[in-house]
Amino acid sequence: MKLKNIKLSYDQLVVVDDLTMNIEKGSITTIIGPNGCGKSTLLKAMSRILEPIQGDILLDGKDLFSIPTKEIARKLAFLPQSQNILNGLTVFELISYGRYPYQKGVGKLSEKDMKAIHKAMDLTHITELKDRGIDQLSGGQRQRVWIAMSLAQETDMIFLDEPTTYLDIAHQLDVLHLLEKLNKETNKTIVMVLHDINQAAYFSDYVIAIKEGKVIKSGLGEDVITKEIIKDVFQVDVEIMFDQTSKKPITFNYKRI
């Protein structure tokens, strides 16, 4: 996916202005930045929820907003920051909604649909929950179900807006390790917004730092997560060391400027 000089606005307020960036196929890319800088807005544009007032977003060389809706739904899936708890639906029923792009009219699930649903449940380790109501699940379990629904769509790309929000640290790591596994085993391109800088560094191939709707720096985590860039983007002084195993940067000793 390529974004060229895009401008995004809400109610005539420009949120993202003249932004250019690329998303590499088969990568995990994480967008970081302060509250209100345009991260979620940008994710909505890449997911075709919000159309730019200027510039182009290209998916496999095609204008994202010229591709038919059902075709888009076979290419990318989007998980918003918060999802409604759908009372009365079971886990299986919610995941089955991911097969909508492949169905013609109102019909029964095909054998191919069933295989995709069961594969999604296996990958997210929630098969034993398939008959449980969504409203009976913990936050971590629900997040796995929503990810499973996206997997059932069988898309090449998954966009996630703060997928670890409201989860404790153990469940945050469960979700991030799951996304890492999906990327490595199924070559899915994953783009997400995270607030935790260290998690962004550790779990991502590429990091994009945004401030006031503009890309300040993009690239490998060690090139983006530096004292200078963190200070510029977040107005915070940090110390940085590198993990001995992963060689990824770790920030600590935060001080507000």
pLDDT band for position 176 (cuts 50, 70, 90): very high
pLDDT at 256: 94
Separation CA 250–CA 197 (nearest Å): 8
Q: Considering the chain, what percentage of its residues have pLDDT values greater than 90?
A: 86
pLDDT band for position 165 (cuts 50, 70, 90): confident
User: What pTM value is reported for the model?
Assistant: 0.92
pLDDT at 104: 73
pLDDT at 106: 63
pLDDT band for position 10 (cuts 50, 70, 90): confident
In the predicted structure, residue 137 carries a pLDDT above the cut 70: yes
pLDDT at 103: 81
Q: Considering the chain, what percentage of its residues have pLDDT values greater than 70?
A: 98
pLDDT at 107: 66
pLDDT at 177: 95
pLDDT at 105: 62
pLDDT at 60: 93
In the predicted structure, residue 252 carries a pLDDT above the cut 80: yes
Residues 62-105 pLDDT 10s? 999 999 998 999 999 999 887 776 678 999 999 999 998 888 76
Mean local confidence (pLDDT), 129-143: 92
In the predicted structure, residue 229 carries a pLDDT above the cut 90: yes
Domains and CATH numbers, the chain: 1-75+158-168+188-257 (3.40.50.300), 83-154 (no CATH)
Range in 22-31, 77-86, 136-145, 243-252 with the lowest mean pLDDT: 77-86
Work out the mean pLDDT of the chain and round it to a whole number: 93
- What is the longest distance spanned by two Cα atoms in the chain? 59
pLDDT at 214: 92
